[in-house]
Amino acid sequence: MDITKIGRYEIEKELAQGGMGLIYLARDPYIQRQVVIKVLMYSRTLDEVYRDFFQQEAELIAALEHPCIVPIYDFGWYGEQPYIVMRHMAGGSLADRLQKEELKQTEIAHVFKRIAEALDAAHARKIIHRDVKPSNFLYDSTGEIFLSDFGIAKSTSITDDDGTWLVGTPAYMSPEQVLGNPVDGRADIYALGIVLYRLLSGQLPFSSDSTTALINAHVDLPIPDIRSVKNKIPAVWQEVVGKAMAKNPNDRYSTASDFARDVAEVVSGKWYLRKL
């Protein structure tokens, strides 16, 4: 049965289906604006762990009010299904954009400044995103970029009748996530390093048809040299990526803003002056 209304919100169309829920474009008739609604799938509502997990996302985003984080407007229940209402980001995701074109280095520096500010704000509250990737970087109608989807920020795994499964995206998982070890903000910095590798080279550092092989690569394999993919990339980029993606968290940047600063300095040329 097609859903036409959730709470006071008038459903316009279904946008996507995720692992845990449905995403709709809707209109708020009270203030005549479009919003996005994420609804937990009915099949998941029978298990309390999923209901708690979904509500956690609403609480986290609400607590993380920040100019670089997609804001939440409302939270409620559609029968037994919880939902959250968020700002509609009309510009789509960075992942969408990368399917059409590559970013200029000045644009990369701006993206990293914004996302780093969002992550540092979260990390200051001891909240780890755990799923930093281009599809969670969203553009608004003016072309400004925001960080979205803190739905897995408080958990390292979920256990249900099917067993225990890791949360996150295998292509962007830090070694400590893969190993099930405690994580801090440096896990997000590792993932942000993978994003930079992707933006510079057009490829992910590790890929495999096997999820097991892919996550093990983060633990066992050295970071591929970006210049083996694009030989015209200056060597300094490998140095920056290598620090962000160090296997040992102690060898990474201590904050996302430190990482973004180095990205900006390489793009502007200040990095080379600093090294003189």
Catalytically active residues are 131
Whether 34 and 145 share a structural domain: no
The number of folded domains in the chain is: 2
- Regarding beta strands 9-17 and 145-147, do their DSSP bridges make them parallel or antiparallel, or are they unpaired? unpaired
Whether 62 and 173 share a structural domain: no
Tokens, residue 152: 């897995």
Whether 74 and 113 share a structural domain: no
Write out the H or E segment, with its range, that includes residue 215.
helix 211-220
- 15 vs 18: CA distance, rounded Å: 10
Whether 183 and 199 share a structural domain: yes
Backbone CA torsion sign across 151, 155, 156, 158: negative
Whether 114 and 218 share a structural domain: yes
| Residues 131/167, Cβ–Cβ less than 8 Å | yes
Whether 111 and 78 share a structural domain: no
C-alpha distance from residue 226 to each of 9, 122, 146 (Å): 47, 30, 26
Q: Identify the DSSP state of 69.
A: B
Domain end point (choices 43, 72, 87): 87
Domain extent, residue 55, equals 5-87
Fill in the amino acid letter for 170: P
- In the three-class reduction of DSSP (H, G, I as helix; E, B as strand; rest coil), residue 239 is classed as helix
The pLDDT score that the predictor gives to residue 157 is 46
pTM, 2 dp:
0.88
Write out the H or E segment, with its range, that includes residue 83.
strand 81-87
Whether 146 and 31 share a structural domain: no
Whether 74 and 173 share a structural domain: no
Whether 13 and 141 share a structural domain: no
| Residues 146/138, Cβ–Cβ less than 8 Å | yes
The pLDDT score that the predictor gives to residue 167 is 60
- Can you give the CATH number for the domain in which 28 is found? 3.30.200.20
Q: Identify the DSSP state of 68.
A: T
Per-residue pLDDT of the chain (276 residues), as tens digits, is 578 999 999 999 999 886 667 899 999 999 999 999 988 776 655 566 666 776 776 777 777 889 999 988 988 888 878 888 999 999 999 999 999 999 999 999 999 999 999 999 999 988 889 889 999 999 999 999 999 987 544 444 444 344 444 567 899 999 999 998 989 999 999 999 999 999 999 999 999 999 899 999 999 999 999 998 888 899 999 999 999 999 999 999 999 999 999 999 999 988 766 665
CB atoms within 10 A of CB 248: 9
- Longest distance between any two alpha carbons in the chain, whole Å: 66
Domain end point (choices 70, 87, 104): 87
Domain end point (choices 59, 87, 115): 87
The pLDDT score that the predictor gives to residue 160 is 39
Whether 16 and 75 share a structural domain: yes
| Residues 126/147, Cβ–Cβ less than 8 Å | no
Tell me the angle at which helices 185-201 and 235-244 cross, rounded to the nearest 10 degrees.
150
- Can you give the CATH number for the domain in which 207 is found? 1.10.510.10
